Amino acid sequence: MQADYVIVGAGSAGCALAFRLSEAGRSVIVIEHGGTDAGPFIQMPGALSYPMNMRRYDWGYATEPEPHLGGRRLACPRGKVIGGSSSINGMVYVRGHARDFDHWAEAGATGWAFADVLPYYQRMENWHDGGRGGDPAWRGRHGPLHVSRGPGDHPFVQAFVEAARQAGYGYTPDYNGERQEGFGPKDATIWQGRRWSAASAYLRPALKRPNCTLVRALARRVTIEAGRATGVEITRRGQVETIRARAEVILAASAINSPKLLMLSGIGPADHLRQHGLPVIADRPGVGANLQDHLEVYVQYASTQPISLYRYWNLPGKAWVGARWLFTRRGPGASNQFEAAGFIRSRAGVAYPDIMFHFLPIAVRYDGTVAAEGHGFQIHTGPMRSKSRGTVRLRAPDPAAPPAIRFNYMSHPDDWEEFRRALRLTREIVAQPAFDPFRGAEIQPGETAQDDAALDAFVREHAESAYHPCGTCRMGRADDHHTVVDPDCRVIGVEALRVADSSIFPRITNGNLNAPSIMTGEKAADHILGRRLPPSNLRPWSHPDWRTAQR
């Protein structure tokens, strides 16, 4: 088999690449180890805790013992299914802050400033405000990716936004528009009551074209001849084959698997490759380095009124929710239940938000276990720009072996101070009068956890990944020895090979990473095709008193 472009990974970026390259008339083969996304566990938004805990849809990765989190191994789910992690994630849609992308450009990713990426966000979106307000001039209305909002009418959700206002924070009708800072409605990749993944938005339409093909196989390595990528070696039905690329090979296999494939192909830190008996084709120490993530905690409260989603947390309740969704695409199953968000600055002198809040009208974990107290609500919170950095390394030269993932969470002392501020600011919001009709006892951290040591212990024992790994094939200047790809996503040291997914992020963005990952696929396609959308002239909002005021 051969095509102009061979893409490894049918995830958020890979699906967008396949769509845009095939739309331009190029032939494309997409290699994906996972299978179909059919079935209610993926398609029903309210069932989001199921697919990320099912080996059928997830690579099943876990971290090495994290030394600063008591030696815990944290789950690191990555989608092994068409649509990739967009098919198993929480469907939260956050572009990131404008200054995130300006930082990328300043760090050497020329052409990836906010003015450059905004037109691609607009091109990919089909935005529906749900009557909850927003910034139409900043949004896209005709793209393949449906972005919508839940009704936001649960009393807990409304109390959360009002409590933030009472605490002195601003309201933003659209954190993906002119102003991110503040509290307001949340966007989600949900359309007509079902998950709208990258597979639904991009891959299925692309596969209807005669020049786009999906191959289910395990990618083993990139084949390289005389310094040029020529194809991808795969295992399919127990046989080893090679799919040839006439033009280029593009890795879009995630921040975990893209660096793994580069190293298996002889591209990475030379000493590490030699340790595993692999030839060194390009010594790039940045491959697998710079690993970043968002770590978060759940601040949980019991409710004095029995109105949380816990009322459905029994067999009859789940059956009713499932049946209503199955036959009408409505009800609690049609929402991910993340219907309000907040972005704040942790202190004066921070130029733009560095803490994010997700609100959920039930006290529950991502693994589906609920708080023993029954009815309650919770706020997910954590710092957005941790200074800790980790690595992805080969465990063995066997392509089927999982990599060694070390996030090195909480290794920087600033992380601890930022988490303490996030916890105390969260408590301040919940203490406002808007929550008086509902606020019961604090389930966790618990009202006795007040001093720094107690809060640090809570974080050490209970912090969880928000599942936003990125940065392991960093984009930057070609003359930087620690850069992996240049601003055109080309792997430095090898011709005809690119990487385009969250692994190329120089630094993690504010919020969830599905939106910037899809944007990366959209924009990388234009770099490959030799065209660019003109930069935007829109100017984002910045707090006028950020130097002297926290809110």
Helices 98-106, 114-124: axis angle to 10 degrees equals: 130
Residue 372's pLDDT is 67
Q: Residues 357-378: what's their mean pLDDT?
A: 85
Is 215 annotated to bind a ligand? Reply is no
What pLDDT score does 476 carry?
98
What local confidence, expressed as pLDDT, does residue 39 receive?
85
Proportion of the chain above pLDDT 90, given as a percent: 95
Tell me the per-residue pLDDT of 245-291, one tens digit each, with 9 for 90 and over: 999 999 999 999 999 999 999 999 999 999 999 999 999 999 999 99
Q: Is 90 annotated as a binding residue?
A: yes
Domain spans of the chain, in order of start: 1-145+189-292+388-408+469-537, 151-185+295-383+411-462
Residues annotated as catalytic (active site), given as ranges: 468
Query: Residue holding tokens 């090679």?
Result: 242
pTM, entire model? 0.97
Q: H or E segment at 297?
A: strand 295-303
Say yes or no to pLDDT of 365 above 90. Answer: no
Residue with tokens 């789910």: 77
d(CA 10, CA 85): 9
Residue 370 has pLDDT above 80, yes or no: no
Structure token pair of residue 109 = 């990713």
Residue 430 marked ligand-binding: no
Cα separation, 80 vs 77, in Å, equals 9
- Which residues neighbour 344 within 8 Å (Cβ) at sequence distance 6 or greater? 169, 181, 182, 353, 355, 357, 425, 550, 551
Pick the range with the lowest mean pLDDT from 45-59, 144-158, 399-413. 45-59
* pLDDT digits 0-9 by tens, 212-225: 999 999 999 999 99
| Digit-coded pLDDT (tens) for 138-192 | 999 999 999 999 999 999 999 999 999 999 999 999 999 999 999 999 999 999 9
pLDDT level of residue 72 (50, 70, 90 thresholds):
very high
Look at residue 55 and give its three-state secondary structure: coil
CA distance 364 to 374: 10
CA end-to-end span of the chain: 58
Contacts of 204 (CB under 8 A, 6+ apart): none
What span, in angstroms and rounded, lies between the C-alpha atoms of 302 and 123?
43
Across the range 31-52, mean pLDDT stands at 93
Instruction: Specify the pLDDT at position 371.
Output: 72
- pLDDT at position 105 is 98
Q: Does domain 1-145+189-292+388-408+469-537 have CATH number 2.40.30.10?
A: no
pLDDT in tens, 495-529: 999 999 999 999 999 999 999 999 999 999 999 99
What are the E-state strand segments in 48-139?
125-127
Residues with Cβ within 8 Å of 14's Cβ and at least 6 positions away in sequence, in order, are 7, 8, 30, 32, 84, 198, 250, 252, 253, 500, 501, 521
CB of 102 within 8 A of CB of 117?
Answer: no
User: For residues 45-60, b (16+ Cβ closer than 10 Å) or e, as one string?
Assistant: bbbbbbbbbbeebbbe
| Burial class of 17 by CB neighbour count within 10 A (0 to 12, 13 to 18, 19+) | buried
Share of the chain above pLDDT 70, in %: 99
For residue 516, what are its two tokens?
Answer: 């910037």
| Tokens encoding 423 | 């916890």
Q: What is the mean pLDDT of the chain?
A: 96
Domain 151-185+295-383+411-462 has CATH 1.20.58.480: no
Mean pLDDT confidence for 468-487? 97
Residue 226 DSSP SS3: coil
Q: Residue ranges of the alpha helices (H) in 329-479?
A: 413-430, 452-462
Q: What is the pLDDT of residues 407-448, one digit of tens each?
A: 999 999 999 999 999 999 999 999 999 999 999 999 999 999
Query: What is the CA angle 182-192-513, rounded to 5?
Result: 45
